[in-house]
Amino acid sequence: DAGVIQSPRHEVTEMGQEVTLRCKPISGHNSLFWYRQTMMRGLELLIYFNNNVPIDDSGMPEDRFSAKMPNASFSTLKIQPSEPRDSAVYFCASSISGTETQYFGPGTRLLVL
């Protein structure tokens, strides 16, 4: 069975450019989570969705970050404009609402120069 799929796996961009990260959750999962992982701050929850609806975006660092989930099988995390401090590994995870286990994608490693 396919797990959580993220693309791209690696992204190198220049400061000021727009970055779009993509996620396809496991089929049948109706909760989706975006995380950011850095050495300094560890693993941070940015936003999560239930049934395609954003529930809590209090972890989104600032207005430069936005996330959408137009349907049950696709979500995006956009950074516009990007800054060097956004460099991190971004993970998408999905779960079945009401259950405890989250299933993580392989992550997108973002480097902003």
Partner 1 sequence: GNSVTQMEGPVTLSEEAFLTINCTYTATGYPSLFWYVQYPGEGLQLLLKATKADDKGSNKGFEATYRKETTSFHLEKGSVQVSDSAVYFCALSFPSGGSYIPTFGRGTSLIVHP
Give phi and psi for 106, each to the nearest 5.
-75, -10
CB of 81 vs partner 1, minimal distance in Å: 27
Q: In this complex, which beta carbon is closest to partner 1, that of residue 82 or of residue 95?
A: 95
CB of 92 vs partner 1, minimal distance in Å: 8
Q: In this complex, which beta carbon is closest to partner 1, that of residue 64 or of residue 72?
A: 72
Q: In this complex, which beta carbon is closest to partner 1, that of residue 54 or of residue 81?
A: 54
CA dist 33 and 29 (Å) reads 11
Q: In this complex, which beta carbon is closest to partner 1, that of residue 40 or of residue 63?
A: 40
CB-based contacts of 81: which residues, under 8 Å, 6+ apart? 15, 16, 17, 18, 64
CB of 4 vs partner 1, minimal distance in Å: 7
Query: 86 by DSSP, 3-state: which?
Result: helix
Sheet bearing 5-7, strands edge to edge? 5-7, 19-24, 74-79, 65-71
Q: Which residues bind partner 1 (CB under 8 A)?
A: 4, 31, 42-43, 45, 48, 50, 55-56, 91, 93, 95, 97-107
CB of 49 vs partner 1, minimal distance in Å: 9
Distance from the Cα of residue 45 to its chain's centroid: 9
